[in-house]
Chain A
Amino acid sequence: MQLTLEFGGGLELLCNSVKIHTVDVEPKAEEKKLTMKHLLSWVHTNLIKERPEMFLKGDTVRPGVLVLINDCDWELSGQLDTVLEDKDVVVFISTLHGG
């Protein structure tokens, strides 16, 4: 299925400084649905070019990264268990502290 993935707040530096990626991701063969858990490992394998520890910690995103699915915090949709649909927009953004 087609997804739009966006990286911001400096996370784009981990993917060759490209902020917006339009990608095709299929669910694992044994599963019918594509979950955020699978998407994270897909991103790790396919998009993250350097310092993966700046993106992931354990099987989820590192502290200080917000995940937004269709402009909504993934905490509200079940985090790693969120089931994605075609044309979803997933934003990964690192919080800023500067001023």
Chain B
Amino acid sequence: MINWMRAFFEAKSENESLARMMAAGFFSALNPTISEITDVKTAVSEAVTNAIIHGYEGKGGSVELYCAYDTQKLYVEVADQGIGIGDIPKAMEPLYTSKPEMERSGMGFTIMETFMDSVRVESQPEKGTRIYMEKQLSRE
């Protein structure tokens, strides 16, 4: 990696915008286009929101945001030590949500996959979840 950052913050919804700003600020060194930076912000927002409302079910905890880049790509990881995901393929299906009563749309993973080049989920029930995302910038 040429450069990286790691931040931990409380699983509070106020921190969703903070996480987007940290990622956007960190990757601005790469001179991304506005569209590319919005892609990353949107994906970070989805993953961090999931950690807060699904991983910790709104009860709080520590959310980790890792951002890095090398000459090829940028990398984002979002992790929680929350309830974990039992059935990952099902969780990633468009429109699937375990919280319809919260007016969740079930489109979070689909949006991450649309705006990033790759999305990988590692999760264990009762242990937590880590989302790995990668994106290639157009100038390279």
Query: Are A and B genuine complex partners?
Result: no
What is the interface of chain A, defined by CB distance below 8 A to chain B?
none
